[in-house]
Amino acid sequence: MSIDTATVARIASLARLKVTEAELEAMVPELNGILAWVEQLGEVDVTGIEPMTAVIENALRLRADVIGADPLTGGGIRDQVLANAPAAEHGFFGVPKVIE
Amino acid sequence: MTEITNLGVAALRDGISGGDFTAVEAAEAFNAAVAGASALNAFIVATPDHALESARKVDADRAAGKALGKMAGVPIGMKDLFATKGVQTTAASHILEGFTPEYESTVSQKLWEAGAGMLGKLNLDQFAMGSSNETSYFGNVISPWRRSDGGNTPLAPGGSSGGSSAAVAARLCPAATGTDTGGSIRQPAAFTGITGIKPTYGRCSRWGIVAFASSLDQAGPMARDVRDCAIMLEAMAGFDPKDSTSLDLPVPEWEAGLNADLKGKKVGIPREYRVDGLDADVARSWDEGIAWLKDAGAEVVDISLPHTKYALPAYYIVAPAEASSNLARYDGVRYGLRDLPDGANLQDMYAATRAAGFGAEVKRRILIGTYVLSAGFYDAYYTQAQKVRTLISHDFKNAFADVDVILAPTTPTAAFGLGEMVSDPLAMYLNDVFAVPASLAGLPAMSVPAGLNREGLPLGLQIVGRPFDEQGVLNAGLAIEQRAGFTARPGKWW
């Protein structure tokens, strides 16, 4: 499967990456080269093989249903959460207007 | 007395606890080495005060007769992928430039609790995507090594942990943290003549490490010898409830368990790694490694890992897929860069921010990942790759029914020159051809220096072990280390 400029533009849009026309042109052969190379996986007989879900068998745990059981990941740390925001306002993350 | 900066982790720890010198003296010596090595560009920021403050605490604890930690007084370098409270953490990207975490990663916190101090944050490939440290927003790291041809071609320190490898090889720090997603500890260690181990997936908590590909990312130590790696891995590893894939197992005493006597052990030599056109020096180094392990008492047997050739293409579907998902968080809203063109709406802001903040290789992988996960292509690419990954894991399981460890080269060549590979992403990816299979299977794997090639550059040998058997890997590594007698080091030019 070979991809064209329109496909790369669509993928870039899905990935929320703004790309210029010149970047698009350069990416098409690069991505096609990589995709042509990974397509050799199609040679492998995977009949009856399950896709990998975990490399090391491990049981998922539940944490105690307690707010702030771990102070690092609990609540009540608004200012720390906002400390690195490019536009924190009134205790919230600021974004461009989304509702007219 | 030998210069303090020539000492490794064990020698520093023992020298400080034995009163030969103070932790502050050690921190000052390494701080000076870091300050004098800006030509290598190994550090994004230096943190001399952090190193000194930790050292003062260790000296005070020792004076008060308190028990000292496993890494007491050992100043280390921290790959700039680990969140460090109050210290800029960038993943070598523009999008995280200026990001100052309000929290400490579990692994770095454990190291500070063990008495280590931080010399600075080490440069790396952007978001750990690269094999030469040429994708960093903060510039290339230059390897301290040079070819013996008398030329001054700047060489790649490997990647993604290229700042870590260069800094340890240049004796700017006795040890450094690395992370390994598809070879990012082992390949740079091999390129710079140092030792590095990626433990079993889940040994080290991923909490607070900037995510690349979560099913593959694993932290580990990079140091100058096997013992130092064992000590530092003990300090880094351990169960963490904040990482859902963390292994709830006790941390073995790897240093105390070191034993280079391999009598009764079987070492597998995978025939698929002996590829056509394998570099003659790499092949010779591998043969020497086989002889050394026999000399240590091991029985050497040929094994087959039939799906080896599919590991790298599977990796280049799985890792970008996970990366495209993980990197969706960089949106210009919660942290990091924001690019808000005049009149832009929210969607425009996302796209402009990500275009301005990510480098070319990161964008390439996000696009590949987005494509292979997109509707209509998911099964053909992603599901197929995860099935092949299962087969690769089966290959190892079958081999380990018969052998205790596997020996192979770490890389197909020694270090290459900066700029020699950047124009060809696929050629660059092939650097990790021997490292990626163990990553896909979550296995412990390490690189130890084995000798020099015809150009006077280091070559590494790789040992891969069973899940949870870091001890077996370290022991085989030690047997090689004792026989390789690798003492070469780069001449100081920086």
**Do B317 and A41 count as a contact with CB atoms less than 8 A apart?**
yes
SS3 content of chain B, % helix, strand, coil (to 5): 40, 15, 45
> Would residue B203 be called left, alpha or beta, if left means φ above 0 and alpha means ψ between -120 and 50 degrees?
alpha
The answer to whether B300 contacts chain A (CB < 8 Å) is: no
Shortest CA gap B207–chain A (Å): 11
Query: Which B residues 235-264 touch A at CB under 8 Å?
Result: 241-242, 244-245, 247-248
ipTM of the complex: 0.95
Q: How far is B16 from chain A (nearest CA, A)?
A: 33
Q: What torsion, rounded to 10 degrees, do the Cα atoms B148, B421, B430, A10 define?
A: 170
3-state class of A55 per DSSP? coil
Nearest to B391 by CA among B304, B305, B303: B305
Between the alpha carbon of residue B360 and those of residues A19, B2, B363, B375, the distances in Å are 11, 45, 5, 25
Tokens representing B306? 């039939």
Residues of A in contact with B442 (CB under 8 A): 55-56
CA dihedral B56, B59, B62, B68 (to 10 degrees): 70
- The neighbour count for residue B454, using CB atoms within 10 Å, is 13
Residue B305 identity (one-letter amino acid): L
**In the predicted model, is pLDDT for residue A73 greater than 80?**
no
- A2 contacts in chain B (CB < 8 Å): none
Tell me how many degrees the CA angle A31-B434-A44 measures, rounded to the nearest 5.
Answer: 60
A75 lies within 8 A of chain B by CB: no
Q: Which two tokens stand for residue B63?
A: 């004076």
Number of Cβ atoms within 10 Å of the Cβ of B86:
12
- Picking from A8, A10, A21, A41 by the largest number of B CB atoms within 10 A of its own CB, the best residue to mutate is A41
Best probe of the A interface among B210, B387, B389, B466, by most A CBs < 10 A, is: B387
Query: By the CB < 8 Å criterion, does B352 face chain A?
Result: yes
Q: Do A46 and B387 touch (CB under 8 A)?
A: yes
**Minimum-distance CB partner of A85 among B309, B335, B391:** B335
- B99 contacts in chain A (CB < 8 Å): 84
In total, chain B counts a number of residues equal to 494
Q: What is the set of active-site residues of B?
A: 79, 160, 184
Report which of A36, A92, A31, A94 is spatially closest to residue B363, judged by C-alpha positions.
A31
Question: Is a pLDDT exceeding 80 seen at residue A71?
Answer: no
Classify B4-259 by CATH class.
Answer: alpha beta
Q: From the CA of A60, how many Å to the nearest CA of chain B?
A: 7
**Chain-chain contact of B310 with A63 (C-beta, under 8 angstroms):** no
- Which residue, B155, B163, B206, is CA-closest to B181? B206
Q: Do B354 and A93 touch (CB under 8 A)?
A: no
| Separation of alpha carbons B352 and B332, rounded Å | 9
Chain B residues in contact with A54 (beta carbon < 8 A): 215, 245
Query: Which chain A positions have a beta carbon within 8 Å of B206's beta carbon?
Result: none
- A37 lies within 8 A of chain B by CB: yes
Question: What is the b/e burial string over B203-238, where b = at least 16 CB atoms within 10 angstroms of the residue's CB?
Answer: bbbbbbbbbbbbbbbbbbbbbbbbbbbbbbbbbbbb
Helix (H, G, I), strand (E, B) or coil at B148: coil
Residue B352's identity, in one-letter code, is: A
**Which DSSP symbol is given to B155?**
B
Q: Identify all chain B residues contacting A14, using CB atoms and an 8 Å cutoff.
A: 370, 374
Contact B38, B80 (CB under 8 A): no
Which chain A residues are within 8 Å of B383, Cβ to Cβ?
Answer: 51
The one-letter amino acid at B219: A
Does residue B437 contact residue B305 with C-beta atoms inside 8 Å?
A: yes
Neighbouring C-beta atoms of residue B272, cutoff 10 Å: 16
Name the residue facing B363 among A1, A17, A37 (closest C-beta). A17
CB nearest A44 (choices: B102, B307, B349)? B307
Contact B145, B155 (CB under 8 A): yes
Where would I find the H helices in B124-183? 162-169
Could you report the average pLDDT of every consecutive run of 10 residues in chain B (494 residues)? 90 97 98 98 98 98 97 98 98 98 97 98 97 96 96 95 98 98 98 98 98 97 98 98 95 98 98 91 98 98 97 97 98 96 95 98 97 94 97 98 98 94 83 95 98 97 98 98 97 95
The residue ranges of every structural domain in chain B are: 4-259
Beta bridge partners of B218: B180
Could you tell me if B194 and B181 are in contact, meaning their C-beta atoms sit under 8 angstroms apart? no
Spatial separation of the C-alpha atoms in residues B445 and B448, rounded to whole Å: 10
Interface check for A6 against chain B (CB to CB < 8 A): the answer is: no
Cβ B191 vs Cβ B146: under 8 Å = no
User: Any chain B CB within 8 A of the CB of A47?
Assistant: no
pLDDT at A1: 63
Measured in whole angstroms, how far is the alpha carbon of residue B168 from the centre of its chain? 12
pTM of the prediction?
0.97
Of A56-65, A83-92, B190-199, B353-362, which gets the smallest average pLDDT?
A56-65
Helix, strand, coil share of chain A (percent; to 5): 40, 5, 60
Q: Give the pLDDT score at A70.
A: 79
pLDDT at A11 over 90: yes
